[in-house]
Structure formats: C-alpha cells, structure tokens
Structure 1
Amino acid sequence: MSNPSVIIFGATGSIGSIAARVANEQGAKVFLALRDVNKPIPGLSPDEERERGFERLQADLTDAESIKAAVVKSGAKRAFIYLMFGVTDGMRPVIEALKSAGIEFVVFLSSSSVTVESTNKGDDLTTVPPSDFIAFSHAQVEINLQNTFGKGGYVAVRPSYFATNTLQWRSMVRTGEVKLVAPNVSFDYIASSDISRVCAGFLVRGPKSPDGSPSPAFVTLCGPQLLSQKDALAAIGKALGKELTLKGVDQEEEGIEVFKANGIPENIARDLVRKLISRSKGNDRLYADDLYAEAVANVEKYGGQPATGFAQWASENKEQFL
C-alpha cells in the first residue's frame, strides 16, 4: 500500500485528532487543516507533531477559498470533514471546493440518525425529514457528496451515541447531583477512539474495505453494550469512586434548560429532549436488533479492534469529570 497524503479538517476535535494520529501511524502523510494554526492538538505534543511529520495549514470550513488553498498546498487526495451546524446549504461550497482542489475521496463524520430515518426507505436520503434536525442536516451533506463525488468517492461514517456526550454531565457530576432527561432510556455510548480508527482506516485505504472490496457509501457504528443513562451515570460514579445522586427530568422545557446549561444550542437541545421523551414512551427505532448488531460488528470490521465498553471508557477518561 502506498503512503497517501490526507488532510484532516477539525484536527483539534475529539474524532479528528485521533483520526489524524491513527492515519499517521498507518503510514499516511497527514496535513492538519485548522482555523487557528496555533491551537494545540489533543494527544499530540509539538515534539511528536514535528518528529512524525505532521504539517499544519490554515483553513476554515466556512471559507471555500481557504479550503481550496489548503488542499492545493498539501497535494492531498483524501479528506476528513464533519458537519458545520447552522449551514443551510448542506456544505455544498465546501464539498465543491474539495473536489475542484483535487480531493478524490472524502470521509464524512455523519450520524446514525440518518440510517434510522432512511433504512426502511431504500436508504433514500431525500426521505429524511427536516423535522429530525440532526438526521436531516447530515443527510443533506451526504446528498451533496453523492452528487459531487459519486459512488466510490466518499464514505459517510455514521456513529451513534458518543460516550463523550456524558461529559455534558461533568459540572453536575462535580456537585454530586445529576439531572437527566428520561434516565431509563438506553444508549450505546461509542468511544471516540473506535470512531476515529474507522475514519482513519478509510483515509489510508481510500475507497476500499479492509477485505479489498469497494468501500460502502456509509458505515453505521455503535458501542458494544446498551446502557440506560442511569446505569451509565453509575459507571461514571464507580470509576470516580464517588456516590452520585440522580434527578430525573420528564418535562420538555425543563429538559431543554438542562441541555442549554451544559452548552447545547437551544434548537439542538429541543430536538434531543423530544427524542428522549419519545423513546421513554417506547418509540425506539434506534437499536433494532439487526441494525444494532451490524453496527457493533462494523467497529471491528472497519477499525480493526473490538468496540470499547463504556465501563472501560469511563475508567480511562475519569479525569475529565474531575
């Protein structure tokens, strides 16, 4: 396998930073596209960055010309991108800029909600309803990738519920009392490292699966165990050696305020609360048996390692709650 040149947009994020390191470990020349080129990369010291041949480039996903300039300067043929929330054009200018600058294959960090909304409709992305804000926003980007890069020119990596979402509880964990909307609702809590390995694998291989077959248009990923929010909180408490008090929230407006207090924009908070309350009433399509089993298996299939359990993740990341 030749050593590809890849460009990572969002290299300071929880997924992009790990994907950059893993792609580098697997032999890729990695360019780090940053809005602020002086910002530190999590898990990568300046010495390591220099010794391992990373290069920084200034680029802003809201500025198509800066994207073109960064890609042309890097000479990269593969790119990692993520959704810019708030855009109304499905990131079309970004995608067209990548294409015109010479990118041949894109890895897009999407969402499992797209799978949920389209899986029973022939995977038709145009059927994803605007009422599902998160799914619709990601689906619009996938549609533009499909139209611009075509089959084999991109892969949408669709993780489910990030384990790092529990870091929203951090300030409450510190006080000892945690307010949770619909605490009995379960999630899979997939680790960022598992998502990143899958993304890095596609960046290094390009439009190929590990067995050499063509890469799929999308890959859905889930963590290996479904846990209620209540049980996930207990796992965090155990990792910290701290007793935590749970307060359940079942009213929409109060739930929105809980999310807003933890830095979530109101439109996203409202969408999240409505989904949680709906799922608490039994309207749960997220973890259908066949879909969930395949999504868990995909972590190892495309990332090379079994999915990380939440208890392990909590133990490894307990300092972030302190």
Structure 2
Amino acid sequence: MILVTGATGTVGGEVLRLLSARGARVRAMTREPARLRLSEGAPIEGVRADFDHVDSLHRAIAGVDSVFLLTMPGPGGSVAERDRAMIGAARAGGVRKVVKLSAIGGNADDADDLPSPRHRAGEQALAASGLTWSALRPSAFASNTLSWAAAIRAGEPVPNLTGEGAQGVIDPRDVAAVAVEALLTDEHDGAAHTLTGPELLSVPDQVAQLATELRRAITTVDVPAPAVRRQLVSAGFDPSVADSAVDGYQLIRDGGNTVVTDDVERILGRPARTFRAWARDHRTAFVAGEGHP
C-alpha cells in the first residue's frame, strides 16, 4: 500500500493516476476526500487526514509500506513541522520508504541564497530517520503560469516578478513520473534528484511561447519587490513568509536559479517535456470562453 499526500493537487493527483495505472494499491490522503477524482475501478482508497493532527496521520499510514510526502506551509504549521509529523508517524507505523517532494535548493548542503531552503529540515529529518528515502527537488513548475490565466483572458499584462531571471521550468507530470519510479523501485533509494525541464526560461520567454501557442499578443508588466511584498501581506500572508517569497523572487531575478539537469531523462528514459508542450496541453485554461483542462 502506498500513501499519497497532497492527493488533490497537481503533482499528487498525477502520482495517484500513474500508480493506479501500474496496478499499485494506493491510499489518497486529503482533508477533503470529496475532492478526490477517482476513476471507476481504480485501486485507490481515500483517507481523511491532516498534517496538523497527528492522530489522523497514524490512521492514514496504517498498513502502508511507502509514502509520497508532499507538504506545504499553512496556518497550522511549517513545511518542516509537517514533514517531521509524517516522518514520526511513518516510523511509528512501520512504513518502509518515504519519497519527499522537496524543491530545488532544498538540501542541507546548499547555501542560504538558494531558492527553497524551507525543505532542508524535512530532508535532514528524513535522512536521519532510519527509513528508506528519496528526495525530489524540482525547479519552477510550468503549471505556475496558470496564475496568469485570468490576466491573459482579460487581455491584461502578465505580472513579472522575476524580471529576466531564467529557470529550468519543469512539467509537473514529469515530477510525478519520477516520483512513481522512486516509489515502485529501489533504484533511487537514498538519492536526491534535481528535476528540471530541458531549457532555461524567463517569464518573458514563457509568455512568448504562450503567445505563439495561443496565437495572440501577450504583454508583461514588471512588479518590483516592495509591491510584491505589499500584495502578499494584503492577501493575508505572514510578513516573514512574504519576505521569504520576495527574497526568492529576487534571487531568480539575479540569475540564482539557472540550473538545468538531465535527471528526468536519465530516470524516465525520455527527454523532459518542454514548456511549449505543457502550454499546448493546457491552452484552454488561457482562452476566454473555453473550459479549463
């Protein structure tokens, strides 16, 4: 039995689909089981659990051999706190393996100026847990551009928070495919993989590719750091979280995440998907009057 956390999200949902297609027994963890989209006959069961309620985690991992661990910060706890909670429950419940979705720059050996140090404590706890483990460190998701969809449909400019800073933008479907390999085989035990797409892209690069795919003009507008921080705080984010986000955007703007690896191709035996391919498959999300994918 494999427990998938973040089961209603972009990566977690694809992990569920791929595991099910390969005949694995899968349990989907979510706070809202009604949101699960399960194919008829799929060997998947849902379980209601919350990282911030340890008793629910113990119920979720009962009889589980492996866990796909995807955590996000929230009002109830940080990524590190939620990672530690699941790792503790996994150890107590006899789980054998945990595959953690981290982020590029999330490892303990990276310097403080890399994009995502918030995953370090979780990676450290996992490595020290005695469990079999793998860590996946993806770069920026292609699906992050869905946040531009409303602006594009309205004919408004896309907000650019990172200037000309380029990243190895990755299709989240590739991240899920790598996670499945780590869960179903022992080839990636004790390993950390940095997952990127095949090319470095800035926000203007991505906008240009979207414009070509949609056959329409799309513009961008630069959003300076102080304005980004004000918007985040106004949206209800803790000021410390807003500051961390702004620091990350500035790092990318300054060229601090220009990383491309061949890990996806090496693991999956095929090239990583391009951003253009992702945009083509999700174009309806950006077109007024058409349904979302």
TM-score, length-scaled by structure 2: 0.86
The 3 A distance-change label for structure 1 pair 81 and 320 is same
Aligned to 2:291: none
1:33 alignment partner AA: M
CA distance in 1, matches of 2:142, 2:70: 18
Q: What's the offset of the Cα at 1:158?
A: 0.5
Q: List runs of 5+ in structure 1 lacking aligned partners.
A: 120-127, 210-214
Aligned to 2:109: 118
Aligned to 1:286: 257
The 3 A distance-change label for structure 1 pair 285 and 178 is closer
CA distance in 2, matches of 1:265, 1:220: 29
CA distance in 2, matches of 1:264, 1:304: 41
Aligned to 1:7: 3
Aligned 8 A contact 1:187 1:229 in 2? no
1:194 alignment partner AA: D
CA distance in 1, matches of 2:252, 2:29: 38
Aligned to 1:135: 116
Aligned to 2:209: 235
TM-score, length-scaled by structure 1: 0.79
The reply on whether 1:166 has 2:145 as its aligned counterpart is: yes
SS for the counterpart of 1:247 is: strand
Aligned to 1:189: 169
Aligned 8 A contact 1:155 1:218 in 2? yes
Aligned 8 A contact 2:36 2:46 in 1? no
Of the three residues 259, 266, 272, the one matched with 1:301 is 266
Of the three residues 60, 65, 80, the one matched with 1:77 is 65
How far does the alpha carbon of each residue in 1:118-153 deviate from its partner, in whole angstroms, 9 at most, with x for none?
Answer: 25xxxxxxxx54x76x63320111111112135xx1
Aligned to 2:290: none
Aligned 8 A contact 2:166 2:258 in 1? no
Aligned 8 A contact 1:81 1:109 in 2? yes
The reply on whether 1:221 has 2:195 as its aligned counterpart is: yes
Q: What's the offset of the Cα at 1:265?
A: 6.7
Identity, % of aligned positions:
26
Aligned length: 282
Q: What's the offset of the Cα at 1:242?
A: 2.2
Aligned to 2:97: 105
1:277 alignment partner AA: Q
Q: What's the offset of the Cα at 1:272?
A: 3.4
2:246 alignment partner AA: V
CA distance in 2, matches of 1:93, 1:278: 30
CA distance in 1, matches of 2:237, 2:19: 30
Higher relative helix content: 1
More deviation in 256-265 or 240-249? 256-265
Of the three residues 88, 102, 108, the one matched with 1:96 is 88
SS for the counterpart of 1:231 is: helix
CA distance in 1, matches of 2:232, 2:159: 10
Aligned 8 A contact 1:104 1:149 in 2? no
Alpha-carbon RMSD: 2.5
CA distance in 2, matches of 1:39, 1:179: 30
Q: What's the offset of the Cα at 1:27?
A: 2.7
CA distance in 2, matches of 1:148, 1:183: 40
Aligned 8 A contact 2:6 2:13 in 1? yes
Q: What's the offset of the Cα at 1:263?
A: 8.9
SS for the counterpart of 1:154 is: strand
CA distance in 2, matches of 1:92, 1:62: 11
The 3 A distance-change label for structure 1 pair 265 and 113 is farther
How far does the alpha carbon of each residue in 1:207-226 deviate from its partner, in whole angstroms, 9 at most, with x for none?
Answer: 324xxxxx343111001111
Aligned to 1:21: 17
More deviation in 54-63 or 262-271? 262-271
How far does the alpha carbon of each residue in 1:33-56 deviate from its partner, in whole angstroms, 9 at most, with x for none?
Answer: 121111133xxxx4x2x3122111
The reply on whether 1:319 has 2:292 as its aligned counterpart is: no
CA distance in 2, matches of 1:226, 1:144: 31
2:247 alignment partner AA: R
The 3 A distance-change label for structure 1 pair 186 and 82 is same
Q: What's the offset of the Cα at 1:203?
A: 1.1
